[in-house]
Amino acid sequence: GVPVLLHIFFFRSVASPPSSNFLLLGPSGAGKTAFTALLEVKSTPASKKSQTTHTSQTSTLITVTLPPSVPTGSNRYRSINDPSLKEATRNPIRYRLKDTPGHGKLRQTQGIAELISMSSSKDLKTKIRGLLFMVDTAALVDEATLRDTASYLHDVLLVLQQRALGKGKSSTKRDAEIPVLIAGNKQDLFTALPAEEEEVLGDDDGKGVFSFKLLEQVGIKVDVVGGAVKGDAEEEIGSGVRRWEEWIGMCL
């Protein structure tokens, strides 16, 4: 009867709620606000588009729809003939992205605090699935910017390293790993360092504690991928945010 029909209608018209949370960190000026705004625009149907503005002083939580052409980790091993994987028929896959302010004074109270809270959460609604750390690759030629960026990244990775080593925990069961993407933004600018050279950020140059390889030994996977929020509409290689969306897709 009618209730059954209504039931079916309801399930067809409402997309499943997003279940994965990604946290976006990085120094101010890296392009986090621009990236968040771009993803929001791309996820909004044309009929509902309106100019949204975000400030860089507070955290913003947005719900994003993964472009249907981006593969996800959970369907990676399925046959390409599987009809449920066809772009047009795939149910929209959504995730949440939390953008945080990158200004020096707000890092500990907002960015790092958010990371600690999301990485210790057991609740699916708030638990972190992946971490994006955005870097302005064109500004890294400036020594002060490089230092500042590296120091923020080190603080972030330290939180993950301590978590991976299970500091202060008696539990023997390891928490789920948190993959890290270093999103090397502004590859459209001619002063930009190639994304592969972002290893400079992870290099411990004999003094520090970190190298990306060391992190891998404790089970933290760090990927460095270049892109440009500005060039997203263009087809040029290395531009756009597609490869970051693919990284997110692999986490889903």
When the beta carbons of 204 and 236 are compared against ligand GDP, the nearer one is 236
Q: What Å distances lie between residue 214 and 119, 185, 204, 210, 217, CA to CA?
A: 20, 24, 10, 6, 5
Minimum gap (Å) between residue 6 Cβ and ligand GDP: 44
Query: Judged by CB, which is closer to ligand GDP: 228, or 252?
Result: 228
Would you say 33 or 149 has its CB closer to ligand GDP?
Answer: 33
Query: Minimum Å distance from CB 102 to ligand GDP?
Result: 5
Closest approach of ligand GDP to the CB of residue 231, in Å = 6
Which CB, 139 or 248, lies closer to ligand GDP? 139
Decide whether 60 or 161 has the Cβ nearer to ligand GDP.
60
Positions that interact with ligand GDP (CB under 6 A): 26, 28-34, 56, 102, 185-186, 188-189, 228-230
Shortest separation between residue 58's beta carbon and ligand GDP, angstroms: 11
Helix (H, G, I), strand (E, B) or coil at 126: coil
* CA Rg value for the chain: 19
**DSSP 8-state class, residue 192:** P
**Tokens matching residue 235:** 């087809």
58 alpha carbon, distance to own chain's centre: 17
Q: Are 99 and 60 in contact (CB under 8 A)?
A: yes
Beta carbon of residue 159, minimum distance to ligand GDP (angstroms, whole number): 19
Question: CA–CA separation, 164 vs 137, rounded Å?
Answer: 28
| DSSP 8-state code for residue 47 | G
